[in-house]
Amino acid sequence: GGYADNDIGAVSTTGHGESILKVNLARLALFHVEQGKSLEEAANASLGHMKSKVKGVGGIIMVNKAGEWAVKWTSTSMPWGAAKDGKLHSGIDFGDTSIINLS
């Protein structure tokens, strides 16, 4: 699922779909940002809530209105990618991030 608000940011989620829907993961993550949490804190709090509430795992890619982004997941791995300032950041496993210059 996904959710966007022009005044806060946007979220894309992946993982166990039923769990994601039960906790409205994308909106929950942006709610935390709206309440003053950083993107990383919001992602961790939302994924932690989903895991404790419905035992679901998944991942989140978030971007705020300033263009900052964060990616977090609780599953074993999650392919992801994000581009900013002419660089492509990507990864699959925890701690495994590659950065490629696009220019």
Q: Give the pLDDT of residue 103.
A: 84
**Residue 95 clears pLDDT 90, i.e. is over it:** no
Banded model confidence at residue 100, pLDDT cuts 50, 70, 90: very high
CATH of 2-77, one of 3.60.20.30, 3.30.429.10, 3.40.50.510, 3.30.70.1050: 3.60.20.30
* Dihedral angle of Cα 36, 39, 42, 44, to the nearest 10 degrees: -150
* pTM of the shown model: 0.90
Torsion sign across C-alpha atoms 52, 79, 29, 70: positive
Q: pLDDT digit string (tens) for 65-76?
A: 999 999 999 999
pLDDT at position 1 is 86
> Using one digit for the tens of pLDDT, what is the confidence trace for 1-26?
899 999 999 999 999 999 999 999 99
Give pLDDT tens digits for 36-66.
999 999 999 999 999 999 999 999 999 999 9
Domain map (residue ranges) of the chain? 2-77
Q: H/E element holding 89?
A: strand 87-91
